[in-house]
Every structure is written in C-alpha cells, then in structure tokens.
Amino acid sequence: MPSLYIPSDKVLEKVNSLVQGFWLVIDDEGIPVLLMKFEASILTSLIAGCKIEMVVRNPKLENRGSTLYLYDKEKDPLWITWQKFGKEDKVYIGFDEVIIRLLQTEKLRVAYYNHHNEPVFTTVIDKKNTFNSFKEWVIDIYSSNELLEKVADGYYAPETKDKGFTINIENKDSSSEEKMTIFNPLKGIEWNGELNESGYNFNNYLKDGKHGYNQEISIKGNLINYFTANEELYYSPKKIDGTELIDFLIHYKKATILIESKFILSEKQTKLNQAFSKAVTQLNEAEKIVRTDLTKIENDNDIIEKLTDNEVIIRLCLFNDSKTVNNEKLKNVIGKFEKTELPIFISCTTFFQLLGDIKIKNEEFYKYNTIQNLIFLYNEFLDDNECDIVVTKEYLMKFGEKTV
C-alpha cells in the first residue's frame, strides 16, 4: 500500500505558495524530507530516477542558501535556488539546521507535488553521510582569501568547490511503484474537456498517449492561480462541430492568449516536427476563427460575447521541459510557415515562472503586465531580422521590463 508524507499546515502552506521549487524539513522520525513541486514532465523524470544534486552555498556568497539541480537532461539540468529553510544551525553559522541534518543522514524522504498542490508520490532514498567532508570544506572556505563574485539570479554554474558543497542524492526509478489515488481539489469547477475526474493517480499518466493529459492537468492547475476559470480562462473550448478549438484560451480586457500544449517523449526529429507543426497549425486556425468567424465556436460560458471585444491575440506553444527545443531542432518547422505564423515557443516551467514573477512584482496589474510582456517578447522577435524563431526555455529577466 503506497503512503504519502503529510507535512504540517505551516509547511504545506509554504509548498502551496511555490510556483515551483523545493522545501526541506525534518519529519517526526528525524528523517530529512525534500518536498518538490514541479510540472508534469519534471515529475515524470524525477520519479523515473533522474540524477539529483544539492549544492550548499558558501555563506560568503549567500547566507543559508542552496541550489537544487535536477538532471532531467544531463547537459542542461533544471536548477532552483532557495534560502533559509527554518532555523539557522547553532554551531555551523550560515547554514540551516535541516541542511546539517541532511549532510549527516543516510536516508532521505522525498515527497513530490504537482501544480494542484496534490501529493503525487512519497519515497525514501539513500544518500551518503558526507558530514565529515563538509566539515573539512567549511574549514577550507573560511581560511580561503579568494575573492568570490555574487550573482543576482542565483545561477552559479559551473559549480566549484569555492562556490558550494555538493550533496549527491541517490535517486531511484519509482515508475513502477504503486501510487495513491488522490482527489482533485478542482472537481467542483465545471470544465469543458476530459480533465474533470475526481481522482488522480500519477501512474495513469505514465502510459503511452497519456503524458500529454498530465501536462494539461499541470498547466490548468497553474493557470487557475492567475485567471478565473470559465470567465477569463477556458479549458479546451469547442467548435460547433464538436472538435477542439485550442487547449487553453485566456481572455482579459481586449486581449486573447491562445495556448497549445505539446508533450513530446520521442527523440526522433520527425516526431518533434509533426508535434510542433500540428501545434502551429492549430494555433493559426484558432486565431483565424477568433478574428473572423466567432459563430464557429460553441458559446459555453458566454465565451463569444467576450471574444467579440478583442484587439490582440497572442499564440503560445507550451512544451515539456525535458525536451530540447532550439532553432536547429525546429528548422523544418520554420521552413513550413511564415515568420508571422510562428507562435512563442515556451517551456511550461518558464511560463509558470513568468506568471509568478509578474504577479509578485505587481499584484494589482499582473494580468495586464503578463499580456504586455508577451507582446513585447513577440514584437522583439518580429523586428529581429536575424531571429528565425522565438524559443524561451530559460527564464529571462527581460520579462520584468514591461510593467505598469
């Protein structure tokens, strides 16, 4: 029988507040717990056993800071930096108590959460006791006179001994392990589409053809934190012939965002070309209908009335972070379409970071600012004669430039 780690209300509140990321606590048995909240493809990689590292930051660079590296792609790991997990250690000043306990332990409990803040899976994995090596490292860094340069965004790669102490976490493949079915907290919301089930089991979405639904669940769980379901945010709106218009449609004021989601597992170039070409075609067809013939859309939740007052349409293709997408990979797609027909290609994680950061910067006007930033990014792409495609995989600080 699978089990789930249930944190305290205070810790759960912290997890709920994360756009994505991680948190560390010590459970009632004295075992450190690494809680991780990520989008569907990252969770899939983690549960499949992808490599995990944590770098405890040199306090001369960041006091009580840590960076988590997730090697969903060996040469391009996802990284997240955080500071101050609970109390500071009384002996090792500049480091958290839970970090010291993590260094000492040989067991680590890992709890995975999705963007609905649902506990997807909990397991216990091994790690080496590296406390003695850490103590030697602490002596070395405090006796060193080397000048270290702080960075604004927390990105210290390539990592060195002077920058931080690396903890290797011996992740394991838990794909085949039984997962617990949990209730969907959004079951009270009447959505169009196929994602209204009251129970959710991660294993159900590891089968061929089901990964895409898992990503859509993740996107939906994130978007409802920013836009009101069935008033501003529409999942899988339909055309009058019963076919899908688009995966997600957001309408705010006089702007519409069309979103098509693509989860691509295959490493074959032909599969990638097919998936993204289909997404571009669907986005352009949806835009044409919204601009010229709203009568082709089912008028659920008065969507037609809202789309009548529309001046701007933004097209996004969201893809799973485990996939490498760049100009070279998409050259065949670029060749099939005019530049103005291409959407913004953006990874799910980057899009979620964008939304979260803009809302933090300005709670009152974050919806407007989100649209302005996307317009800015796309217009910059259109004006750049040397840029064939706009692919946003890494979080760009420029997103903060266009705010009220």
Q: Which pLDDT belongs to residue 20?
A: 83
Q: Which pLDDT belongs to residue 404?
A: 39
Cβ atoms of residues 211 and 351 within 8 Å: no
* β-bridge partners, 317: 260, 345
Closest by alpha carbon to 318, among 261, 369, 360, 362? 261
Q: Which pLDDT belongs to residue 202?
A: 76
Residue whose token pair is 């070279």: 328
CATH T-level fold of 208-401: Restriction Endonuclease (3.40.91)
Closest by alpha carbon to 36, among 349, 397, 351, 394? 349
Weakly modelled stretches of the chain, pLDDT under 70? 1-2, 183-199, 207-209, 392-404
Name the residue type at position 274.
Q
Strand stretches in 284-347, DSSP E:
312-319, 344-347
Q: Measured between alpha carbons, how far is 127 from 19 in angstroms, rounded to an integer?
A: 27
Q: Measured between alpha carbons, how far is 107 from 254 in angstroms, rounded to an integer?
A: 53
Q: What is the pLDDT of residues 344-401, one digit of tens each?
A: 999 888 898 889 889 988 999 999 999 999 999 899 888 888 777 777 644 443 433 4
Q: Which pLDDT belongs to residue 402?
A: 38
Q: Measured between alpha carbons, how far is 190 from 302 in angstroms, rounded to an integer?
A: 14
Q: Measured between alpha carbons, how far is 232 from 11 in angstroms, rounded to an integer?
A: 31
Q: Which residues fall within 8 angstroms of residue 265, CB to CB, at 6 or more apart?
A: 211
Q: Measured between alpha carbons, how far is 376 from 124 in angstroms, rounded to an integer?
A: 45
Q: Which residues fall within 8 angstroms of residue 146, CB to CB, at 6 or more apart?
A: 162
Q: Which pLDDT belongs to residue 394?
A: 47
Look up residue 298 and give its two tokens. 């089912």
Q: Measured between alpha carbons, how far is 231 from 302 in angstroms, rounded to an integer?
A: 8
Cβ atoms of residues 25 and 85 within 8 Å: yes
Q: Which residues fall within 8 angstroms of residue 128, CB to CB, at 6 or more apart?
A: 106, 168, 170
Helices (H), 293-318: 303-308
Name the residue type at position 96.
D
Domain boundaries of the chain, sorted by first residue? 9-170, 208-401
